[in-house]
Every structure is written in structure tokens, then in C-alpha cells.
């Protein structure tokens, strides 16, 4: 188990190194000059000498390889660079906005599980009946609607028509309701069908049939045994969803002007604030990899089958490395 953990950590380091390469060089070779964009905000054409001076101040006049090495060295020291737009450290800017993104992700995920697990189990118990068909149809419709469109529909209904909720997201008052509701509806639409499939597959096991022959109801079997057996699989789905919400809710954050790192990163893209975008990509990648690693390790601890599969995979990777 320890060898497997070490190997996964080594893979993590390789993945993150590749992420730094991709994020840095994609932004470097993207069209447009961030300094020119910054100095042109007032609608005037900046003086070339001023642009050159500003580029020298930010270190953008150095060779690209030298810039990358300096940026990478700064990362190991906890320095993610200086925002071109604000002139403040990117790390402090992101740290100030991270609680809002974490609140959005954790709250949305918790409510998604509260909604999806009971409805998914209900669909499995009522397989191909009216209840199952109605819930599945609703989840299909929900999964077919893009997140930004779902957000606009909710804004039109609850903000512009009913005037119940504000259209601008905020952690104060009820400003968080619409952003969270948008993510819950989008995620639940997929979760319900996945949980239904997982539960139905487990209900086909021999021990379930044996329990039925002893006169135990499906509801009792589900609550006592099936949910426990499917917990590792649901845990994996939960971990993957949480990681996706941390980095994938940027569009929803922008629709509601939610003060999180996703909204900050998208604004940085339009402003060509390269240090912010590079730091955002790196942080999201780190969070995604770490969350999935923790989920794999937790699943291996509670599910012997998962632990055996991970150890076999690690053993095969080691043999492949030896042959190479």
C-alpha cells in the first residue's frame, strides 16, 4: 500500500509539471500583449517607450525559458507572481476569493447528494414505473440544459419575474441561493441516473435475491445492505464532482458575478492578465489531482476490491518501467 501511495505521488508530480508547462506556454504564445491591453484601458494608444518600460518592470522582456524558470522557482517559494492588472500578489488575490468558491462547491455538492441519493434509490425501487419514468425524464431534461442557460432561466424566473432572489451572487443573505440552485439542478440531473444504475446493478447480486426469499422487503435490503455496498462507488463520484466544481463552476460564477476564483480567472483572461490565469490553472489542477488521490486512497481503505485493483495497477506500472 505504501509503495502504491509513493507511486501515485510521483505520478502527481509529473502531471503537475506538465500542467505548469502547458499553462505557461499557452498563455505566453496566445495573441495579444498584456501590457498594451493594460495601458490601453483608458481608450488611448500607449507610448511604445512606456510599454517597453512596463514590460521590463514585469520581466516580460526576458527570454521565454528564463521567464518559465523564474515562474517555476517562484511557485516553490509560494510566489505565484504579480497581477498585471492590480499590481498585487496573485497568491493573496486568489486566497481572498477561494472561500467563496469553496462555499459554492461544498454547499452545492452537499445539496446534490441530499437530492440525488433518495431520488436515485427511489427510481431503482420503482424501476420502469411511473415514478421512475417521470424522474428520469426530468433528469434527462436537466442534463440537456447547459449550466449557463439554467442560470439565465432561474434569473428570469426568480429575479426578473417573481423578484424573490437577487441576480447578483453573494455569500451574504440569500445571494448564494441562485448560484447554488443552478449547480444543484445541473449536477443532480446526472447524479440521479448514475445512482439509479449503481443501485440497480447491486440489487441484482445473489445476496439480494437470498434476502428477498427470506421475505425481506426491497426497501429494507436497500437501506441495510445495498447502500453500504455502493458507498465506495458513490464516494468516487462525489470526489470527482467536488474536484470539477472547484474548477468547473467558472461559468456559473461569471453569470452571477460570484466573487470566487472562477470569476476572477475569466476576468483575467479578458484582461490578458497572464500570471492570474497561469496560477488559476495550476491551482485547479493541484486541487483536482489531490482530491482524486484522496478519494482513491479512501476508497482503497474501505473497499478491499479497490485496494487490490490499485495495487495491481501499481505493480504493472513498475514492471512496465523495468522492461522499459
pLDDT at residue 108 in the model = 93
Which pLDDT band, with edges at 50, 70 and 90, does 216 fall under? confident
Q: What is the pLDDT of residues 166-207, one digit of tens each?
A: 888 888 888 899 999 999 999 998 889 999 999 998 888 888
Domain ranges of the chain: 90-274
Q: How would DSSP label each residue in 255-267?
A: HTT--SHHHHHHH
pLDDT at site 156? 93
Q: What is the pLDDT of residue 324?
A: 45
Q: 234: which residues sit within 8 A by CB, 6+ positions away? A: 117, 195, 198
* 43 or 181, which is more confident: 181
Q: What are phi and psi of 158, to 5 degrees?
A: -90, -20
d(CA 197, CA 35): 52
Q: What is the DSSP letter of 216?
A: -
Return the ∠ at Cα 18 (arms to 316 and 234), rounded to 5°: 60
Q: Is the pLDDT of residue 286 over 50?
A: yes
Mean pLDDT of 55-70: 78
Give the residue with greater pLDDT, 315 vs 23: 23
Q: In this model, does residue 322 exceed pLDDT 50?
A: no
**How would you label 145-156 residue by residue, b for 16+ Cβ within 10 Å and e otherwise?**
eebeebbbebbe
Q: Is the pLDDT of residue 109 over 70?
A: yes
The CA distance from 300 to 305, in Å, is 7
Q: For 66, how many CA atoms within 13 A lie in the half-sphere containing its CB?
A: 6
Per-residue pLDDT at 61 exceeds 90: no
- The stretches of the chain forming alpha helices (DSSP H) are 2-28, 34-39, 48-58, 64-76, 90-125, 130-144, 147-154, 177-203, 206-213, 218-221, 227-248, 250-255, 261-271, 274-302, 304-323
Which pLDDT value is given to residue 167?
A: 86
Decide yes or no: CATH 3.20.20.60 for domain 90-274.
no
Instruction: Categorize the per-residue pLDDT at 154 as very low, low, confident or very high, splitting at 50, 70 and 90.
Output: very high
How far are the Cα atoms of 37, 251, 260 from residue 241, in angstroms, in the given order? 36, 16, 18
Amino acid at each position: 500500500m505504501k509503495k502504491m501511495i509513493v507511486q501515485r505521488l510521483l505520478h502527481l508530480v509529473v502531471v503537475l509539471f506538465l500542467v505548469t508547462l502547458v499553462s505557461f506556454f499557452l498563455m505566453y504564445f496566445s495573441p495579444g500583449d498584456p501590457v498594451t491591453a493594460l495601458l490601453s484601458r483608458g481608450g488611448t494608444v500607449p507610448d511604445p517607450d512606456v510599454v517597453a518600460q512596463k514590460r521590463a518592470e514585469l520581466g516580460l522582456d526576458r527570454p521565454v525559458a528564463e521567464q518559465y524558470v523564474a515562474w517555476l522557482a517562484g511557485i516553490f517559494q509560494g510566489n505565484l507572481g504579480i497581477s498585471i492588472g492590480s499590481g498585487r500578489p496573485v497568491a493573496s488575490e486568489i486566497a481572498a476569493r477561494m472561500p467563496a468558491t469553496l462555499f459554492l462547491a461544498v454547499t452545492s455538492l452537499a445539496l446534490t447528494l441530499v437530492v440525488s441519493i433518495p431520488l436515485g434509490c427511489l427510481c431503482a425501487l420503482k424501476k420502469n414505473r411511473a415514478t421512475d419514468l417521470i424522474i428520469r425524464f426530468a433528469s434527462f431534461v436537466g442534463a440537456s440544459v447547459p449550466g449557463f442557460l439554467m442560470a439565465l432561466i432561474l434569473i428570469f424566473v426568480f429575479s426578473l419575474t417573481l423578484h424573490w432572489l437577487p441576480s447578483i451572487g453573494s455569500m451574504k443573505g440569500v445571494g448564494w441561493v441562485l448560484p447554488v440552485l443552478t449547480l444543484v439542478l445541473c449536477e443532480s440531473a446526472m447524479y440521479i441516473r448514475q445512482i439509479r444504475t449503481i443501485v440497480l446493478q447491486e440489487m441484482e447480486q445473489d445476496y439480494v435475491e437470498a434476502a428477498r426469499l427470506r421475505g425481506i422487503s426491497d426497501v429494507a435490503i436497500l437501506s441495510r445492505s445495498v447502500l453500504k455496498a455502493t458507498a465506495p462507488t458513490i464516494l468516487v463520484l462525489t470526489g470527482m464532482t467536488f474536484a470539477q466544481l472547484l474548477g468547473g463552476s467558472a461559468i456559473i460564477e461569471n453569470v452571477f458575478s460570484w466573487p470566487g476564483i472562477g470569476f476572477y480567472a475569466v476576468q483575467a483572461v479578458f484582461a490578458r492578465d497572464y500570471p492570474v490565469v497561469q496560477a488559476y490553472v495550476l491551482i485547479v489542477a493541484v486541487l483536482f489531482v489531490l482530491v482524486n488521490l484522496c478519494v482513491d486512497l479512501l476508497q482503497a481503505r474501505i473497499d478491499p476490491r479497490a485496494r487490490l485493483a490499485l495495487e495491481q495497477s501499481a505493480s504493472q506500472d513498475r514492471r512496465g518501467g523495468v522492461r522499459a
